[in-house]
Amino acid sequence: MNEMAGIGIAIIAGYFIGKLINKFNVPSVAGYIIAGLILGQSFLGIFNENFVEKTSLISDMALALIAFTIGGELLKSSLKKIGAKVFVIAFFEGFLAFTIVTGAMLLMKLPMETALLLGAVASATAPAATLMVINELRAKGPLAESLIAVVAIDDAICLMIYAIAASVAKVLIKHTGSIEWSHVLVNPLIEIAESVLLGVLVGGLLVIVLHWVSYTREVLAVVIAAIMITLGLATMFHLSALLSNMTLGIMVTNLSANKTKAFSVIESITAPIYTAFFVLAGARLQIGLLVQVGLIGLVYTVARMVGKIAGASFGATIAKADSVVKKYIGFGLLSQIGVAVGLAIVISHEFAGTEAGSLIITVLLATTVITEIVGPLSTRYAIIKSGEAGGMDARLSE
């Protein structure tokens, strides 16, 4: 299928199915994923694997926009109020998900290297679905603020865990050599620092340019250009595009006098891009793989959910966060598509020809069918039970 026509179909299908499912008090994003499942290889086959790969630019752009938007929520005043609590919560939800999934996979008799890599991937949380539900419900309060901040830094935590797990796994697979812990620990820190530095540099230039532009179309042009340049440079130098664009957003929201217009113009164009992103993400999933991975997939999914919920609650307790955060934050961190699938693809290349490489991509593509339906529903549950829902956002739900 022609890429442009396919993207148009994705947007229309996502809009109508999202609108339909929204009438049953289910987040629209779940409808977008379902639309993708229907149009993808699991059912109609209109969006095959080749088509999804050809339209990957939409996914890259959507994630960059989401990261920029998340950065825009991180005002200095908000960060001061939340403080170190967010880092404690993010560390424990990521580390406990990694630990519990790794242990569960070892109990399933999987090799240590495979268990470590699956645990590392389990630590990732997809910011896109969480942010969409928060926006859809117009949520405001300690839980919403904490969720946004946690998913913002989750990528850095996951990056660290994966780098360490991958280094250990390579040694175990080769059955030779020793682990160079200095490289294992330092390299991911360098990557994180370079990703942030890229966002600071482009963000600094963007703040200067925004001082001189005022018309809406000009603001839109320079902000989109900055996001795309950051995305392109991050990809070129193998850095985290999510961290770089999040830093870009932080720079604008904290340093630019024109920040309100900068984020409002971006918000005005994101609905079709986000819709296409989730539909195409859904098209990548394969229900048939659920049978193939069987018990391993089920155990992985349950163990990850337990790790995320327990880890986030434990971290919030240690950090003495608000009671509503302790009780519900873990339920907003279950979505996984995006960063995790990206990591699974990286693993399939880095560990090509090994059991780990083939099994992990299969488990991830199968189990995200579940997490991408359950994730938005559990986030919605958490926001509503916390009393922070401000009503349905007409722009997203209609």
pLDDT exceeds 70 at position 176 = no
Helix, strand, coil percentages for the chain (3-state, nearest 5): 80, 0, 20
Place 392 in a pLDDT band, splitting at 50, 70 and 90.
Answer: very low
Backbone angles phi, psi at 201, to 5 degrees: -65, -50
Taking only the tens place, the pLDDT of each residue in 280-296 is 888 877 777 667 778 89
Residue 205, both tokens: 């230039």
For the ranges 73-82, 253-262, 289-298, the lowest mean pLDDT is seen at 73-82
Distances (CA, A) of 349 to 255, 342, 344, 345, 364: 40, 11, 9, 6, 15
Distances (CA, A) of 214 to 80, 130, 248: 30, 32, 19
Taking only the tens place, the pLDDT of each residue in 187-203 is 778 888 899 999 999 99
In the chain, the percentage of residues whose pLDDT exceeds 90 is: 36
Nearest Cα residue to 48 out of 57, 36, 60? 36
Place 393 in a pLDDT band, splitting at 50, 70 and 90.
Answer: very low
Taking only the tens place, the pLDDT of each residue in 302-360 is 999 999 999 999 999 999 889 999 999 999 999 886 666 667 766 766 776 677 777 77
Place 132 in a pLDDT band, splitting at 50, 70 and 90.
Answer: confident
From CA 372, how far away is CA 341, in angstroms rounded? 12
Contacts within 8 Å (CB) and 24+ apart, 298-301: 299/104, 299/105, 299/107, 299/108, 300/101, 300/104, 300/105, 300/118, 300/122, 300/363, 300/367, 301/367, 301/370, 301/371
Query: What pLDDT, on the 0 to 100 scale, is given for residue 198?
Result: 96
**Burial track 271-283 (b if 16+ CB lie within 10 A, e otherwise):** ebbbbbbbbbbbb
- Summary mean pLDDT of the chain: 85
Nearest Cα residue to 224 out of 59, 58, 7, 65? 65
pLDDT exceeds 70 at position 81 = no
Q: What residues does each domain of the chain span?
A: 3-397
pTM, entire model: 0.77
| Yes or no: domain 3-397 corresponds to CATH 3.40.50.300 | no
